């Protein structure tokens, strides 16, 4: 019989696995893949190091799970957004703003993806779930673009993946290279005002790329 308030063994396992993933995100984002140690992750998760190997098998497989986890978190946050399809241009602005603000609030997303790209996608290729997760993200954009096409606002010759890449790259590059760009161009790039100006600029840029006849909104 289960002890009152003790929780089931399965629930405890879920909590431990979740704590390990959360700790792994922090450690991998700070230390990179090579610098991260499983004992650091276990300490952060307040569990025995062997639990990492029990639930994930290896450091490699844990990093694959971390990649899937951060993409899934992004998708869940995006799915909670409500975009007004009666106003596709504003919906695009809202989607760009969501992506931009998510990157600002979750720098670990940027650093972990940067780490994996330095590793040439070694772990991403091992994942059987990333393609499905990317389909979900692109799927949020598709109805907005179709609504704009139906209203005669957006071009018909649009590859949804290209629009997704345009939004992701414009939001990602500024954040991933902020420190070097600030030294190279202008220290003010890190200021809230400059970040807001960039958001307004890229929102206009995306709409210009979508606009029928190449005209901006």
Q: What CATH number does the domain containing 112 carry?
A: 1.10.357.10
In the predicted model, is pLDDT for residue 137 greater than 70? Answer: yes
85 and 33 in a common domain: no
Collect all residues with Cβ–Cβ distance below 8 Å to 127 and sequence separation of at least 6: 64, 67, 68
pLDDT value of residue 2: 44
83 and 35 in a common domain: no
Q: How many of the other CB atoms lie within 10 Å of CB of 192?
A: 8
77 and 101 in contact (C-beta within 8 Å)?
no
pLDDT value of residue 5: 47
93 and 194 in a common domain: yes
41 and 64 in a common domain: no
Residue 203: inside a domain, yes or no? Answer: yes
Collect all residues with Cβ–Cβ distance below 8 Å to 69 and sequence separation of at least 6: 21, 25
Structural domains counted in the chain: 2
Residue 14: inside a domain, yes or no? Answer: yes
* Domain of 46, in residue numbers: 10-57
Residue 88: inside a domain, yes or no? Answer: yes
Residue-wise pLDDT tens digits, 93-128: 999 999 999 999 999 999 999 999 999 999 999 998
Residue-wise pLDDT tens digits, 143-173: 999 999 999 999 999 999 999 999 999 999 9
202 and 106 in a common domain: yes
Residue-wise pLDDT tens digits, 23-75: 999 999 999 999 999 999 999 999 999 999 999 999 999 999 999 999 999 99
101 and 173 in a common domain: yes
65 and 49 in a common domain: no
144 and 89 in a common domain: yes
Strand partners, 211: 154
In the predicted model, is pLDDT for residue 3 greater than 90? Answer: no
> What's the CA gap between 108 and 70, in Å, rounded?
9
CA dihedral (173, 177, 178, 179) in degrees, to 10, reads: 180
pLDDT value of residue 207: 97
118 and 125 in contact (C-beta within 8 Å)?
no
Token pair for 157 = 């010759």
157 and 145 in contact (C-beta within 8 Å)?
no
In whole numbers, what is the pLDDT of the chain averaged over residues?
91
25 and 91 in a common domain: no
Collect all residues with Cβ–Cβ distance below 8 Å to 100 and sequence separation of at least 6: 171, 198, 199, 202
CA distances from 142 to 74, 92, 157, 199 (A): 17, 11, 13, 21
45 and 15 in a common domain: yes
Residue 43: inside a domain, yes or no? Answer: yes
Sole residue written with tokens 């596709």: 88
Residue 216: inside a domain, yes or no? Answer: no
181 and 87 in a common domain: yes
Sole residue written with tokens 């300490």: 43
What's the Rg (C-alpha) of the chain?
A: 20
Residue 113: inside a domain, yes or no? Answer: yes
What CATH number did the domain enclosing 43 receive? 1.10.10.60
Among residues 216, 210, 125, 113, which one has the least CA distance to residue 164?
Answer: 210
71 and 40 in a common domain: no
In 57-159, where does DSSP find H-type helix?
Answer: 59-79, 88-105, 107-118, 130-150
Residue 26: inside a domain, yes or no? Answer: yes
pLDDT value of residue 7: 61
Residue 3: inside a domain, yes or no? Answer: no
């Amino acid at each position: 019989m289960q002890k009152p308030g003790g929780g089931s063994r399965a629930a405890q396992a879920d909590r431990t696995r979740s704590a390990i993933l959360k700790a792994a995100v922090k450690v991998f984002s700070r230390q990179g893949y090579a610098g991260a140690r499983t004992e650091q992750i276990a300490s952060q998760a307040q569990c025995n190091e062997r639990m990492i190997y029990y639930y994930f098998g290896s450091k490699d497989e844990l990093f694959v799970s971390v990649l899937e986890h951060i993409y899934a978190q992004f998708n869940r946050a995006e799915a909670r957004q409500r975009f007004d399809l009666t106003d596709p241009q504003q919906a695009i602005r809202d989607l760009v703003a969501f992506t931009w603000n998510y990157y600002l609030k979750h720098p670990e997303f940027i650093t972990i993806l940067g780490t994996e790209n330095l590793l040439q996608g070694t772990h991403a290729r091992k994942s059987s779930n990333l393609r499905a997760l990317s389909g979900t993200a692109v799927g949020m954009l598709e109805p907005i673009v179709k609504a704009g096409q139906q209203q005669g606002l957006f071009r018909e010759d649009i590859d949804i993946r290209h629009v997704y890449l345009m939004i992701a790259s414009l939001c990602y590059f500024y954040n991933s290279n902020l420190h070097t760009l600030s030294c190279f161009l202008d220290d003010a790039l890190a200021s809230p005002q400059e970040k807001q100006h960039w958001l307004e600029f890229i929102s206009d840029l995306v709409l210009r790329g979508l606009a029928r006849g190449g005209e901006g909104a």
